[in-house]
Amino acid sequence: MSRARVILVGGLIAAALDITYACIVYGPLSFHLSPTEVLQSVASGWVGNDAANAGGAVMAQLRTEVPTASVSVSSSLRACSGNER
């Protein structure tokens, strides 16, 4: 498997686990929020509370895409640094 593919798959898995954890812990286990509300609350840290609540599904989508990109970038930097164990 190529290095780029490993980075992409690793980023997608990490982002999926992150979103799943947030939806479970802040949803039925504590605050009883819907998955969209959980994602909007996280996006509000980036764009502000009013914009996140007004954005609806767009803000929820923003929350799902940004972690995927950031995890993939950090994974690629780690892989390209040559400090693999």
The range of the structural domain enclosing residue 33 comes to: 3-80
Distance CA 13, CA 5 (A): 12
Residue 85 falls within a domain, yes or no?
A: no
Domain count, the chain: 1
Residue 50 falls within a domain, yes or no?
A: yes
pLDDT of residue 24: 92
Residue 73 falls within a domain, yes or no?
A: yes
Q: What is the mean pLDDT of residues 6-23?
A: 83
Q: Which two tokens stand for residue 45?
A: 């840290």
Q: What is the mean pLDDT of residues 11-35?
A: 86
Q: Which two tokens stand for residue 80?
A: 């390209």
pLDDT of residue 67: 64
Residue 14 falls within a domain, yes or no?
A: yes
Residue 10 falls within a domain, yes or no?
A: yes
HSE-CB for 38 with a 13 A CA cutoff: 19
Per-residue pLDDT reduced to its tens digit, 30-80: 998 888 888 878 777 778 888 777 877 777 777 666 666 666 677 677 777
pLDDT of residue 52: 75
pLDDT of residue 7: 78
